């Protein structure tokens, strides 16, 4: 698609939308402007290609398609079958997986599918066997009681939220923390790194049904071979949530012991983030879990979103191109350059650096909470998100950390030199921000003071830094 064709496509779409609800069209245009002008450092965000974006806005949105390829509960799904099969094929080839399920609407949905697939595969009861063959009408009230008892109170061992794990790895307010009797493993207090011996000890003591690997805020590689050995030693199913680093796996930056697919029984991921696709989820597994995974809809999912599956197929096809490996490596190079730039300026980083796409700054060294730092940076045109650090004294709401990542800026073409400049901007904002006080004079975890002129200056410098690397240069909405 030529640049002119891209502009025509998006301009035409906005004209059609504006004729019905101009405020929506204006918001869409404003979002593009904001993204073009902001230094986007949220580790879980990226920029999908125009082809991926356009694949979501079409007639596939009108289709119901419960079931799987060739086994739908609705007629007329032959074209949905085509795009779902293509997305699954690209996923299998890209990651070297035996089976791919591309229907989940999000990473949380993908995890729920995985959890229930493992439960259904591992927990034996007469009631469950009936449910597995869809004889729901034959289940008595006693069967349902036995089924709930069998499926409930199973054990999960996953990384704690403050150590870098995700809320779906057993965090109590999330459904995963209610489904499972859960225990967390943390990181070494001195280094911030996973202590595999302690994980093994916890597994032997707790004997989980599922051992979860993966993270949302851990800035290092994970040895999935060792975690699989730990899971095998206690008879656990080993599940990996690679939502954050799927692009690094796809781009062959993480290989061998650091590629989860050969080691895990089941792998979940999002399709956005470092994979640079549409917002959605995916499950990869071997043949032994494939049948259970394919029951994700209607087990826990609503109807599949065919337009998003079409976009997944496009994005996964893009990720199979040779240049995606270069992109994935540049993500890591940029993250390490950003970390080095911050360290040279005196910042404190969890684990002292990074091996992947993200950097976690402990902003308590600047006298700030994560919430104060996040907002001060946003005032200055730098988009980040606050995040807990290990043993965080400020909890999960205010936090003591800022998580930053490089996938989006790498998509725009920024390199290591610009990462050092980015580190300078971040450090300047944080050093010039002071914590505020509540009305009664007590220290506030939310209020802060930052000179407005300085914030404007940093925002202009951020815009200047981005200027040589325009976002969607082929799209002109004017």
- CA dist., res. 240 & res. 273, Å (int): 16
Is 124 among the catalytic positions? no
139 DSSP 8-state letter:
-
In terms of Cβ atoms closer than 10 Å to its own Cβ (0-12, 13-18, 19+), residue 71 is exposed
Catalytic residue among 8, 11, 63, 64: 64
Catalytic residue among 72, 220, 279, 386: 279
Catalytic residue among 6, 143, 162, 241: 241
Is 288 among the catalytic positions? no
- CA dist., res. 123 & res. 133, Å (int): 15
Catalytic residue among 40, 220, 273, 276: 273
- What does DSSP say about strands 237-241 and 210-214: parallel, antiparallel, or unpaired? parallel
- CA 133 from centre of chain: 33
> How crowded is the C-beta side of 43, counted as CA atoms within 13 Å?
29
Is 327 among the catalytic positions? no
421 DSSP 8-state letter:
H
**C-beta atoms surrounding 163 within 10 Å:** 24
Is 269 among the catalytic positions? no
Catalytic residue among 52, 268, 270, 422: 270
Catalytic residue among 37, 45, 63, 66: 66
Is 101 among the catalytic positions? no
| Helix (H) or strand (E) segment spanning residue 309 | helix 306-319
C-alpha torsion sign, points 276, 277, 281, 282: negative
Residue closest to 464 by CA, chosen among 36, 30, 31: 36
Provide the total of helices (H) and of strands (E) in the chain, helices listed first.
20, 16
Is 215 among the catalytic positions? no
| Residues forming beta bridges with residue 25, ordered by sequence position | none
- CA dist., res. 426 & res. 416, Å (int): 15
Question: Which residues are known catalytic residues?
Answer: 64, 66, 241, 270, 273, 279
């Amino acid at each position: 698609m030529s640049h002119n064709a891209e502009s025509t496509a998006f301009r035409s779409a906005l004209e059609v939308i504006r004729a019905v609800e101009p405020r929506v069209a204006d918001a869409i245009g404003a979002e593009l402007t904001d993204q073009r002008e902001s230094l986007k450092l949220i580790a879980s965000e990226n920029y999908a290609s125009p082809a991926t974006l356009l694949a979501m806005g079409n007639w596939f949105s009108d289709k119901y398609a419960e079931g799987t390829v060739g086994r739908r509960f609705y007629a007329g799904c032959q074209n949905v079958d085509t795009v779902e099969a293509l997305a699954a094929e690209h996923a299998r080839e890209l990651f070297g997986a035996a089976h791919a399920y591309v229907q989940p609407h999000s990473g949380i949905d993908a995890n729920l599918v995985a959890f229930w697939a493992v439960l259904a595969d591992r927990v034996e009861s007469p009631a469950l066997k009936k449910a597995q063959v869809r004889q729901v009408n034959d289940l008595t009230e006693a069967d349902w009681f036995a089924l709930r008892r069998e499926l409930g109170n199973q054990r999960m061992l996953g990384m704690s939220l403050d150590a870098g794990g995700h809320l779906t790895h057993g965090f109590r307010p999330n459904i995963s923390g209610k489904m499972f009797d859960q225990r967390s493993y943390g990181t070494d207090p001195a280094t911030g790194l996973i202590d595999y011996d302690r994980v093994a000890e916890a597994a032997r003591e707790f004997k989980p049904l599922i051992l979860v690997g993966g993270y949302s805020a851990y800035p290092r590689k994970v040895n999935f071979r060792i975690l699989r050995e730990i899971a095998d030693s206690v008879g656990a199913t080993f599940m990996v949530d690679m939502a954050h680093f799927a692009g690094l796996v796809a781009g062959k930056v993480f290989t061998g012991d650091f590629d989860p697919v050969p080691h895990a029984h089941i792998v979940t991921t999002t399709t956005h983030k470092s994979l640079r696709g549409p917002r959605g989820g995916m499950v990869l597994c071997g043949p032994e879990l494939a049948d259970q995974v394919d029951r994700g809809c209607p087990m826990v999912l609503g109807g599949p979103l065919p337009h998003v599956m079409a976009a997944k197929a496009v994005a996964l096809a893009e990720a199979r191109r040779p240049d995606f490996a270069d992109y994935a490596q540049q993500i890591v190079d940029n993250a390490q350059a950003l970390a080095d730039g911050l360290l040279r300026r005196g910042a404190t980083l969890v684990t002292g650096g990074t091996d992947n796409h993200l950097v976690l700054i402990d902003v308590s060294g600047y006298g700030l909470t994560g919430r104060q730092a996040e907002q001060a940076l946003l005032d200055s045109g730098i988009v980040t998100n606050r995040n807990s650090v290990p043993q965080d004294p400020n909890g999960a709401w205010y936090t003591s950390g800022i998580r930053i990542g490089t996938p989006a800026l790498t998509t725009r073409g920024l390199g290591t030199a610009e990462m050092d400049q980015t580190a300078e901007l971040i450090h300047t904002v944080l050093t010039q921000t002071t914590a505020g006080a509540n009305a009664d004079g007590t220290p506030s975890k939310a209020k802060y003071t930052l000179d407005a002129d300085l914030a404007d200056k940093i925002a202009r410098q951020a815009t200047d830094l981005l200027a040589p690397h325009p976002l969607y240069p082929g799209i002109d909405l004017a």
